[in-house]
Structure 1
């Protein structure tokens, strides 16, 4: 008899020493109190620890549009989508979730009808950036004219945003508690040639954006030996924070779905680390390890 669904991510193997392809990481808050697992070591039974359980011996379908893409993101269903929602979808040559789309309807068991949003640049350097056909992921967007049916596997995450009361316009900005990729050595005069060789670092948003004051962020670095686990960068026990103004919003590449995990000493994962969605990681990360 089934009790309840436990949110989980599937490892591809190599994220941590000793973790093989097919291992699942379960949400500790959703685990039952009387879990029966005789092969699990005693130090893994506490709810304060991540539950890392071996995958059963059956072939699970791969999630994602490409066969080699063993995604760890949730498998969406029609119950996850509501008319009018804004979602980030995977797009571009590097297949990252930079494109925004409004949900129109679920048309098939695995397809959703959407209309894409289009950026509405305001500042001069934003207009020039847009003319260069470079991606814009924060600012003002309007509902465009392109409508398509997309496979659910192309959807990354729903987007929190402000909607105009009178027009089909949306404000989308990084929000406190989210994890984003930012371009390294970015400047607002980039051309397509600069963009093609971009590298990213990962940041945590510490304060919401407002047009009156700057946003605060902190740099994240990879937990050594753990490809998808990140922690705040420190120097002499001080966290390295900085501010981002409205003029620097183009420096953001895309949001990365993530959740905070308790420390796991067995794998040298510090307290309050983040587990990032592997599919949404930039193809080129700069100085990942601390």
Structure 2
């Protein structure tokens, strides 16, 4: 699963593959609650840390949308219509290798004032990587402010599935990238939202 952000500075060569890359680290704004979370933080401001040359494409998962906030500082937040894994409440301060996640679709872009909103996704019976919205209306939407962004674990590459592709599916279904999902999801229903 994706765990770290990198900024490609230069494509040196396509064949053989080689790029110059800068790793991004979460900026600590002095909030003591973030100290244990810093190594796994996925949202907020990130600063350019160390540079290296990479010759393997296998370390890359997908392209992330980021905004340049200052020289060598970038902001990464969930964007509208993106799919993310969120930590379960009881697990978010103690990350584990085999932890389970809830999966959500983001309904609004992040705002410093309003935060953002999202809806939970449930696995569709008979499919391994297809999910749909759990509920609609007031109870189907959760809002989080800037102080609760640590619930977001990682973005999951996903595409919306049309009814033309699989007619028996309901509206608002997404096919999620299996490489961004925990392996236990394919063996047990334990990771599906309660």
For the 8 Å contact 1:137–1:253, the answer to whether it is kept is: yes
Structure 1 residue runs of 4 or more that deviate by more than 6 Å after TM superposition: none
Q: Distance in 2 between matches of 1:239 and 1:262?
A: 25
For the 8 Å contact 1:200–1:284, the answer to whether it is kept is: no
Between structure 1 and structure 2, the one with the greater Rg is: 1
Taking CA–CA contacts closer than 8 Å with sequence separation of 6 or more, which of the two structures ends up with the larger relative contact order? 2
For the 8 Å contact 1:97–1:280, the answer to whether it is kept is: yes
Aligned to 1:233: 134
Q: Where do residues 64-79 of structure 1 align in structure 2 (5 Å cutoff)?
A: none
> Any unmatched runs of 5+ in structure 2?
none
Q: Where do residues 86-235 of structure 1 align in structure 2 (5 Å cutoff)?
A: 96-108=1-13, 109=15, 110-122=17-29, 123-130=31-38, 134-165=39-70, 167-186=71-90, 190-191=93-94, 194-196=95-97, 198-234=99-135
After superposition, the Cα gap between the structure-2 partners of 1:238 and 1:225, relative to the gap in structure 1 and judged at 3 Å, is: farther
Q: TM-score, normalised by structure 2?
A: 0.84
Q: 1:263 aligns with which of 147, 163, 179?
A: 163
> Any unmatched runs of 5+ in structure 1?
1-95
Aligned to 1:16: none
Q: Distance in 2 between matches of 1:232 and 1:126?
A: 30
Q: Distance in 1 between matches of 2:133 and 2:101?
A: 16
Matched, 1:242 2:150: no
For the 8 Å contact 2:20–2:51, the answer to whether it is kept is: no
Q: Offset at 1:135? A: 0.5
Give the alignment's Cα RMSD to 1 decimal.
Answer: 2.5
The superposition leaves residues 97-123 of structure 1 with CA deviations (integer Å, 9 ceiling, x where unpaired) of 121101022233233221111111222
